[in-house]
Amino acid sequence: MIFQRKPSNDFQQFYETYYQRCRTRCPKIRAVAAKWTFEDLIPGLSDFDTRFVTADDMTVSDWASMSIEVGHVHTQMCYEFPNWARNLEHLPGINLTESEFCNPLMFYPEFQQWTFYAGDESMLKRIGKVLTEHTWGLRDERYHLKKFATFCGPYQRGIDPPVNLGAFENKYALHSRFMHYFSPPVQATVSLTQKRNVRGKLEALRIARDLFPNGEVIDMLFKAVDHHYELADWYQEPKLTEIERQLEAYLDDLWVVLGDHVTLVDPQAGDKRPVICDKVASIATDPVASFFEGAKFCRLMKGRLLFYADSIAWFDSIWLIENELARIVANFYDTPIKLYGQLRFGEILNPQQVLQRVNGEILTADDCSGVTRFAQVASETFSSADARARARLVAEHYSPMLEVLEKLSDHLLELIGDTDAN
């Protein structure tokens, strides 16, 4: 194999440029963060999972405008900096106001795995205080058990296609296995055993090396990362299958280790992925936390879809579109509307039943018909050849979904506040 040598680390230049351009278009953005720590960003292979925190006076119109403007930044920078296509792959996922970030009802354990790179200093101090004062609880345990269940078991070939990697694509097979599918459950296990949200992947792996048996597996990962995956024989069979089996066996052992540290499930030796997933799926959810976890991912989705719909020769968006549209109805229509109905009415209702009950109250008839039409359009099948056109069409019908989720979020906060006051 011929490898492109490890490039210089320009992630700092990237996020400084990106943040400045987004703030120029959207002055209410006050801070930029990204998942994990800076050392976890491997040049040429890692993407930059951005998160924004904004001023408190954001309106639905402001979020809609920000979605479009940040999408324009992605498009323009992708044309200007083709080498940053990987970094620009996703518009920021979770986007919150400062008050939302600091509201205990909206606390999301992933917050403590963000690194804040720039922002208003007084805001960052307030956010830092919230993160420091957080006490580990069942919400954290539930989050990390779900993370473990998501990534446990044998590596599923084809699940993580190499997208927008350019000359580094032939290194992705190892990067995907080690950093995308092995490190997250190790990080989850370390967090569960330490009862704290460990921020970095490499940080968690170093802790795991000292805590758990079979440290040679962790050494193998660090060797791969240190060599920027330039280990030609590791990509060949039977070596690649052997690596997969070593990683799977290591995670099997970690599941047993968790038996002494968790309260929500009963890990047993011999449990395999289907059993683990069933056990974790049976954990009672916190509907308030689940509602806000889902709803706050929705705010920049329209801009993301329009960015993907642009035909940029060196940016591959087809799989990204297919991935987003495969989950968009469940994430933004089905799940949060059902959860709102459960919290509001104390019943398990389907989305249409919930909409019927709140039509004319907190939602208008146009709101209800708009989100229904969005769900219908976004659920329709399409071919890969039509993916960009489909992304544009779904984006055209997306605005009512944002409007409705913001209204439901605001009303739910009022309801919970009234309950707390009583």
What are the tens digits of pLDDT across the range 265-303? Answer: 999 999 999 999 999 999 998 899 899 988 889 999 999
Query: What's the whole-number mean pLDDT along residues 43-53?
Result: 96
On the question of pLDDT at 336 being above 90, the answer is yes
Determine the pLDDT at residue 294: 80
The H-or-E segment that residue 30 falls in is strand 29-35
Cα-trace Rg, the chain:
22
Q: How far is CA 42 from CA 7, 117, 376, in A?
A: 9, 17, 40
SS3 for 50? strand
Residues 26/70, Cβ–Cβ less than 8 Å: yes
Determine the pLDDT at residue 420: 46
For 340-383, what is each residue's pLDDT tens digit? Answer: 999 999 999 999 999 999 999 999 999 999 999 999 999 999 99
d(CA 326, CA 143): 22
Q: How far does CA 214 lie from the centroid of its chain?
A: 29
Write phi, then psi, for 94 (nearest 5 degrees): -85, 135
Quick one: angle between helices 60-80 and 399-421, nearest 10?
A: 130
Range of weakest confidence among 126-130, 159-163, 290-294: 290-294
Write phi, then psi, for 229 (nearest 5 degrees): 65, 20
Q: Which two tokens stand for residue 52?
A: 């924004």
Q: Is 81 exposed, middle or buried (0-12, 13-18, 19+ CB in 10 A)?
A: middle
> DSSP letter at 162?
-
Q: How far is CA 263 from CA 23, 145, 230, in A?
A: 43, 10, 42
Determine the pLDDT at residue 363: 98
Residues 32/116, Cβ–Cβ less than 8 Å: yes
Residue 217: closest CA among 201, 233, 205, 227: 205
Confidence of residue 87 (pLDDT cuts 50, 70, 90): very high
Looking up tokens 């705010």 gives 299
Distance linking the first and last C-alpha atoms of the chain? 68
Lateral strand order in the sheet of 114-119: 95-97, 50-54, 29-35, 114-119
On the question of pLDDT at 419 being above 70, the answer is no
Residue 186: closest CA among 131, 249, 107, 139: 249
d(CA 418, CA 410): 13
Determine the pLDDT at residue 421: 35
